[in-house]
Amino acid sequence: MAGGNAIRGTRVGAGPMGESERGESAPRQRVSYWCANGHESKPSFALEAEKPESWDCPRCGLPAGLDEQAPPKAPRNEPYKTHLAYVKERRSDADGEAILAEALAKLRAKREG
């Protein structure tokens, strides 16, 4: 049962490395992004890092762009909604048909009986 001690040893040893990584001496730039709802978000990037063309708005989740006058349009999730509605419709249709068929069968049974 020496395994527990070995794991503890590696954890303590890994500490200093994490601390040296945390130093924020690298120069950073703040970039403004605007979403379709007019929200401005200012994430910061390392100066040498290439800034992304779009950024997810932290307030509404829409994609935000660098151009305040022309923010990226909100992605339409209509296809998904339509598909979901379509599936629901189909299901209720099938249910309705089943109920109708049952009712018709009962009617016929009554007439015949």
Residues that bind Zn ion (CB under 5 A): 35, 37, 39, 57, 59-60, 62
* Residue 39 or 51 with smaller CB distance to Zn ion: 39
Rounded CA separation 84/78 (Å)? 9
110 is in an annotated binding site: no
Least distance CB 42 / Zn ion (angstroms): 13
* Residue 35 or 72 with smaller CB distance to Zn ion: 35
* Residue 29 or 37 with smaller CB distance to Zn ion: 37
Q: Which residues pair with 46 in a beta bridge?
A: 28
> What's the Cα-to-Cα distance from 7 to each of 2, 3, 47, 59, 79, rounded to whole Å?
9, 6, 38, 41, 51
Least distance CB 33 / Zn ion (angstroms): 9
35 is in an annotated binding site: yes
| Cβ proximity of 62 and 35 under 8 Å | yes
83 is in an annotated binding site: no
